Amino acid sequence: MRRSLLPLLLSLIAVVPACSSILGETPTNSSPTTGDNDSPSSTETTESPDPKDCVRLTGGIDHVDTGALASDALLLSGETFVCADDVVVTDPGDLNHVAAAAQLAAALNGPLLFPEPRLSAELGRLKPIRVHIIGEVSVNTPSDSVVVSHDLASASEYARGELGVGETVPTPAKPDASTIVETVRAIVERDRVVRPQTDPTGTTSVNDPFIDPGEVVEGLALPTESEILWIVDATRPETILLAAAIGRSVGATVVAIDGNDVLGHPELGIVLASHPTESFRFVGAAPDASEWELNILINGQQVPGGGYYILPEEEKRRYVAFYGHPETTALGALGEQGPEETLTRMAGYLEAYSGDGSRVIPVFEMIASVASAGPTDDGDYSYEWPIETFDEWVRVAEENGVYVILDLQSGRDHFLSQAKQYEEMLKKPFVGLALDPEWRLGPDQVHLRQVGTVEAAELNEVINWVADLVRDNGLPQKMMLVHQFRTAMIQNRQDLVQRPEIQLIVQMDGDGTEPQKDATLAAITKDTLAAHWDWGWKNFFDEDEPGPPTPESTMGKSPSPVYVSYQ
């Protein structure tokens, strides 16, 4: 079982710095100073004591209010820097000032800090030669430090001189997503600086910026070979700038995630999946998301069709399956040919079911346990095939974006005990589970003498077990089907549990003429407008009369099925 990642992410990670003022190095200095407090110079240098008598923090900073920007800055400074010749301080309430301070701190390889009660102590520990102050901020600086005061223009000019670059990129006077994106890019690429435009009155900043987290996430979705990833909630733009400023000193790449929609940008999962979990950490408070969602994002595993949900809200999606067993033609269309040939045979159906604008995902629905007319060796009237029976089909499915459903006909056995036999397969992100109550027997029953039934409580045990498996392994949402063609097949169906890790689908499983099947669908969907599950429909090549309904007719059913299978 994969261990939980959230505690790891919220803990501190060890970093291997490369700069003289950073943990692990003897500090020296060759940074520019100024002849006065307003104009930058790249020609004068001031040597720091060699070495500085700085204090290395070994136990972190006590009582840090995680999620408060000033406290986060202290934490990162204490983790990263033994001492620093240059420190930048600004007002955390002005986003333009924070952006200017971030790029200046990154250019100087120094920490970015904000006023708070512990700031004086941190400045004393760092022993800076220069304290750069941007805007109107009151700071108690060490007596032997030079205070360099900046407005937005002089801060960007100082950074430009330090970097030796000529290009200045304008950003809006009123900060928006581009302010964050352009500043972070400038910090990373070090070939330009950014500066906010002035409005007609000469002011350059506001304290109520509107930042679209989604635009920030998309704008910062840069390929990275960095071995250290600092994950930041895009709803906290100041923290992104802080992380970019200090993260550059240790070679960290800032990864922004939308705290309002953690799983809304699947492309992030691709980036994160290529890195070991030890390389991740959150800067600032983790977003208000479940541990399961964060683990999904970090693991990067997605469902066929992309994303982390079986039926994503932003896209209409339908699943079309061939049903049967790989080793026999007697149990359905799936076993009538091999896996590649099955996909070829399915191609026309997949295209037809996209006619209403749906993205169609192919499915292999494979019978994992089959009802037996007589008692089996264990007496449960159900034969369970070993996992390796399905290896070739699972391989083809994985290579071709096919979802796999394992179908259980458990006889006298409990559905949960059979499901657990296929746990290793169910740990795959593209494998789901189907339960068929028609073949669920009571203690003294045998097949073909009655239609089986199951209590919602038994189904709930399986739903909860699979949901826990999904959660504990950081898997994307998993599909679960329950077959039904009589109302009595699922006792107390209204009690079926809803879990976010599971997309539950109740499938109409009857054969016959199309009017008969329509009547069955109407019966099992009656008074279920508030049901939390979606609906499926089953077609039979041989048993339906005179043949299965067309895809167009099937899609037109009410409710329209999100899952259609062919037996």
Q: Read off the pLDDT of residues 528-548 as tens digits, 9 standing for 90 and up.
A: 999 999 999 999 999 999 999
Among residues of the chain, what percentage have pLDDT more than 70? Answer: 84
Q: Are residues 272 and 217 in the same domain?
A: yes
Long-range CB contacts (within 8 A, 24+) of 374-383 = 374/446, 376/411, 378/413, 379/412, 380/410, 380/411, 380/412, 380/413, 381/411, 381/412, 381/441, 381/446, 381/447, 382/409, 382/410, 382/411, 382/412, 382/413, 382/418, 382/439
Q: Are residues 49 and 162 in the same domain?
A: yes
Distance in angstroms (rounded) separating the CA atoms of residues 26 and 60: 20
Predicted confidence at residue 284, as pLDDT, reads 87
- Upper half-sphere CA count for residue 348 (Cβ side, 13 Å): 5
Q: Is the pLDDT of residue 27 over 50?
A: no
Residue 309 lies in a domain: no
Comparing C-alpha atoms, which of 389, 379, 361, 380 is closest to residue 452?
380
Which amino acid, residue 434?
A: A
Token match 């005990």: residue? 417
Pairing label, strands 359-371, 382-384: antiparallel
Which amino acid, residue 217?
A: V
**Alpha carbon 246 to chain centroid distance?**
24
Lowest mean pLDDT among 248-257, 366-375, 413-422: 366-375
Indicate the Cα dihedral angle 544, 546, 548, 552, nearest 10°.
Answer: -150
Predicted confidence at residue 272, as pLDDT, reads 78
Comparing C-alpha atoms, which of 37, 191, 24, 178 is closest to residue 96?
178
Distance in angstroms (rounded) separating the CA atoms of residues 79 and 501: 37
**Residue 422: partners with Cβ closer than 8 Å, 6 or more residues away:** 368, 387, 406, 433
- The token duo for 440 is 């669920």
Which amino acid, residue 196?
A: P
**Segment 149-176 mean pLDDT:** 93
Q: Are residues 258 and 357 in the same domain?
A: no
Show the CA angle centred on residue 260, arms to residues 303 and 286, nearest 5°: 95
Q: Are residues 273 and 321 in the same domain?
A: no
Q: Is the pLDDT of residue 216 over 50?
A: yes
Q: How confident is the model at residue 278 (pLDDT cuts 50, 70, 90)?
A: confident
Distance in angstroms (rounded) separating the CA atoms of residues 182 and 167: 13
Q: Are residues 468 and 332 in the same domain?
A: yes
**Residue 121: partners with Cβ closer than 8 Å, 6 or more residues away:** none
pLDDT in tens, 514-524: 999 999 999 99
Residue 312 lies in a domain: no
Indicate the Cα dihedral angle 19, 21, 27, 33, nearest 10°.
Answer: 100
Predicted confidence at residue 10, as pLDDT, reads 35
Predicted confidence at residue 381, as pLDDT, reads 75
Q: Is the pLDDT of residue 364 over 70?
A: yes
For residue 354, CA distances in Å to 255, 304, 317, 552, 562 come to 35, 16, 9, 10, 11
Give me the CATH number covering residue 514.
3.20.20
More confident residue, 107 or 203: 107
- The token duo for 319 is 């699943």
Helix (H) or strand (E) holding 78: helix 69-80
Helix (H) or strand (E) holding 70: helix 69-80
Q: DSSP string of 92-124? A: TT-HHHHHHHHHHHHHHT--EE--STTHHHHHH
8 A C-beta contact, residue 412 and residue 384: no
Residue 304 lies in a domain: no
Q: Are residues 476 and 515 in the same domain?
A: yes
Predicted confidence at residue 246, as pLDDT, reads 96
**Segment 227-232 mean pLDDT:** 88
Predicted confidence at residue 333, as pLDDT, reads 95
Residue 385 lies in a domain: yes
Domain boundary among 272, 299, 326: 299
**Cis before 515? omega within 30:** no
- The token duo for 338 is 């091999």
Residue 334 lies in a domain: yes
Q: Is the pLDDT of residue 277 over 60?
A: yes
Q: How confident is the model at residue 445 (pLDDT cuts 50, 70, 90)?
A: low
Comparing C-alpha atoms, which of 172, 104, 178, 167 is closest to residue 135?
104
Cα radius of gyration rounded to whole Å, the chain? 31
pLDDT in tens, 452-484: 789 999 999 999 999 999 999 999 999 999 999
**Segment 394-409 mean pLDDT:** 97
Predicted confidence at residue 234, as pLDDT, reads 92
Predicted confidence at residue 199, as pLDDT, reads 57
**Segment 136-151 mean pLDDT:** 94
Helices (H), 367-513: 391-400, 415-420, 423-426, 456-472
Distance in angstroms (rounded) separating the CA atoms of residues 70 and 565: 57
Predicted confidence at residue 117, as pLDDT, reads 92
Domain boundary among 245, 270, 299: 299
**Cis before 546? omega within 30:** yes
Domain residues for 356?
Answer: 317-566
Distance in angstroms (rounded) separating the CA atoms of residues 442 and 40: 85
Q: Is the pLDDT of residue 349 over 50?
A: yes
Token match 């896209």: residue? 315
Q: Are residues 75 and 41 in the same domain?
A: yes
Residue 311 lies in a domain: no
Residue 310 lies in a domain: no
**Segment 176-201 mean pLDDT:** 88
Q: Is the pLDDT of residue 41 over 60?
A: no
For residue 2, CA distances in Å to 68, 295, 462, 472 come to 31, 10, 20, 7
**Residue 480: partners with Cβ closer than 8 Å, 6 or more residues away:** 432, 433, 434, 435, 462, 463, 466, 502, 503, 504, 505
8 A C-beta contact, residue 538 and residue 557: no
Q: Which 8-state DSSP code applies to residue 411?
A: B
Q: How confident is the model at residue 204 (pLDDT cuts 50, 70, 90)?
A: very low
- The token duo for 547 is 């043949």
Q: Are residues 260 and 368 in the same domain?
A: no
Q: Are residues 195 and 324 in the same domain?
A: no
Residue 294 lies in a domain: yes
Domain boundary among 251, 267, 299: 299
**Segment 82-88 mean pLDDT:** 96
Pairing label, strands 478-484, 490-491: unpaired
Three-state DSSP class for residue 502? strand
- The token duo for 49 is 């004591």
Distance in angstroms (rounded) separating the CA atoms of residues 508 and 416: 22
Other CB atoms within 10 Å distance of the CB of residue 425: 17
Q: Are residues 221 and 354 in the same domain?
A: no
Predicted confidence at residue 286, as pLDDT, reads 79
Q: Are residues 221 and 341 in the same domain?
A: no
Q: Are residues 120 and 263 in the same domain?
A: yes
Distance in angstroms (rounded) separating the CA atoms of residues 10 and 248: 20
Q: How confident is the model at residue 47 (pLDDT cuts 50, 70, 90)?
A: very low
Quote the number of domains for the chain: 2
